[in-house]
Amino acid sequence: MIIIGLMSGTSADGVDAAVVEVGGTPTAAPSYRLLAHTLTPHTDALREEILACVRPEHGTVDRLCALNFELGESFALAALDGARAAGIPPERIDLIGSHGQTMWHIPGHSTLQIASPAVIAERTGATVISNFRARDMAAGGQGAPLVPYVDALLLRHPSLIRAAQNIGGIANATYLPPLDAGSSVVFAFDSGPGNMLIDDAVRRATDGAMQYDDGGALAAQGRVDGSLLEELMEHPFLRAPPPKTTGREVFGAQFGEGLWASGLARGLRPLDIVATSTAFTAMSIAVAYRDFLPAMPDEVLVSGGGALNPTLLRMLERQLNDFAPAGREVRVMRSDAAGIPVLAKEAFAFAILADQTWRGRPGNLTAATGARAPVILGDITPGLRFPYPLPSP
């Protein structure tokens, strides 16, 4: 099968598409090969509308209704762009796994991702699996993180302890014990802010001229303010034990406004606030490892946009090694080193999760989400070529 995974994260800069070839037989474990990865940017107007609608004071029902269909068009375009990059005609797309755009997430209660799967199915002809988080939440889980299922499938090492650290808008970690560790459990959780607060500070520091800290250059020119960092680390989410998830509802624009105002009140320069925001992400990840992982990992495989910020990675490696036992070294590297491009992993994951659903297999890790039991994820929207024969379980 050819499956395309689609993902738009909290940065709302566009839709990542991962085109994945699924091999194997009905009686054997499937194999997955990434054929292409593309990012189809949102128009400026669409991005502005997404960022407006994730704020309760602006996200009215009429705007959300229209945005749902507009995002469906954007996601369909991204799927077709991905197929084109892989040299595959649209009629060869068997299945699309669409995470959608998260608009609001209430841990332990409910969640909302939009991008009309009906529009995606109609424009591409492919069957679409969407709304992955809701079933896990209905089973008592947090609805996220879901990517750890794929981390466990693709990234465990025979003898080393690994952590798969995604740094998108929010940061989430997956603890991966060695394959030879017997009954040791893979688990995961959101550690706190990722790029979200860094991006917010960059926009403010540059009067909107820059949307993110390209190469970590701005943070490298600033000075981390220890007192502000200490205050930020008192946030109650960081002390809460897993399973836990978070998002813009906690670390979004309103938090960013407060962080910026607090920095200016201390007399910090704009670049100092960028540097301190970057240090906050690094420190919150490192403290989460210290407090919640069974052991400090040997390797940390970083994916997401944060993997392209060397200043952030240096801060993270330094903090992790400050917490590591004597004689142990924690190596921080990009997920490319394990064969998964840093910007493709989440879209790749939703292609694999769509395949699991299509095979009638659960796609959640209960140790990551806290659900009562493994469940089959997502809603199926038939495409023009539906139905396909289901493989045997």
**Residue 390 belongs to some domain of the structure:** no
Rounded to an integer, the average pLDDT of 32-59 is 94
pLDDT above 90 (res 324): yes
- Which CATH number covers residue 22? 3.30.420.40
pLDDT above 80 (res 38): yes
Alpha carbon distance 105, 112 (integer Å): 6
pLDDT in tens, 201-228: 999 999 999 999 999 999 999 999 999 9
Residue-number span of the structural domain to which 377 is assigned: 2-142+346-381
Q: Do 97 and 115 contact (CB within 8 A), yes or no? A: no
State whether 31 and 81 are in the same domain: yes
**Residue 149 belongs to some domain of the structure:** no
Alpha carbon distance 387, 336 (integer Å): 36
pLDDT of residue 219: 98
Rounded to an integer, the average pLDDT of 38-50 is 95
Burial class (CB in 10 A: 0-12, 13-18, 19+), 235: middle
pLDDT in tens, 362-389: 999 999 999 999 999 999 999 987 766 6
State whether 172 and 273 are in the same domain: yes
pLDDT above 70 (res 390): no
Q: Output the CA torsion 16→88→364→155 (10° steps).
A: -80
Across 24-161, the runs of DSSP E, i.e. the strands, are: 31-41, 95-106, 110-114, 127-130
**Residue 135 belongs to some domain of the structure:** yes
**In the predicted model, what is the mean pLDDT of the chain?**
94
State whether 123 and 176 are in the same domain: no
Question: Residue 13's CB: how many other CB atoms inside 10 A?
Answer: 17
Number of domains in the chain: 2
With a CB cutoff of 8 Å and minimum separation 6, the contacts of 323 are: 286, 287, 289, 290, 296
State whether 27 and 67 are in the same domain: yes
Question: Residue 326's CB: how many other CB atoms inside 10 A?
Answer: 4
Q: Do 89 and 125 contact (CB within 8 A), yes or no? A: no
Tell me the residue type at 208: G
pLDDT above 60 (res 391): no
pLDDT above 80 (res 27): no
pLDDT above 60 (res 160): yes
pLDDT above 90 (res 25): no
**Residue 31 belongs to some domain of the structure:** yes
State whether 202 and 302 are in the same domain: yes
State whether 170 and 245 are in the same domain: yes
pLDDT above 80 (res 34): yes
Does a cis peptide bond (omega within 30 degrees of 0) precede residue 294? no
pLDDT of residue 388: 62
pLDDT of residue 185: 87
Percentage of residues in the chain with pLDDT exceeding 70?
A: 97
State whether 224 and 78 are in the same domain: no
Region of residue 250 (phi > 0: left; psi between -120 and 50: alpha; otherwise: beta): alpha
State whether 333 and 356 are in the same domain: no
Higher pLDDT, 389 or 162: 162
Q: Do 3 and 72 contact (CB within 8 A), yes or no? A: no
Rounded to an integer, the average pLDDT of 319-334 is 95
∠ CA 310-315-316, nearest 5°, is 95
Q: Is the pTM of this model over 0.85?
A: yes
Rounded to an integer, the average pLDDT of 222-236 is 98
pLDDT of residue 24: 79
Burial class (CB in 10 A: 0-12, 13-18, 19+), 208: exposed
- At residue 22, what are phi and psi to the nearest 5 degrees? -105, 125
Nearest to 20 by CA among 108, 82, 99, 65: 82
What does the block give as tokens for 390?
A: 């289901």
**Residue 148 belongs to some domain of the structure:** no
pLDDT of residue 387: 63
State whether 109 and 199 are in the same domain: no
**Residue 310 belongs to some domain of the structure:** yes
Alpha carbon distance 3, 135 (integer Å): 21
Rounded to an integer, the average pLDDT of 184-191 is 90
pLDDT of residue 208: 93
State whether 176 and 297 are in the same domain: yes
β-pair partners for 98: 6
pLDDT above 80 (res 140): yes
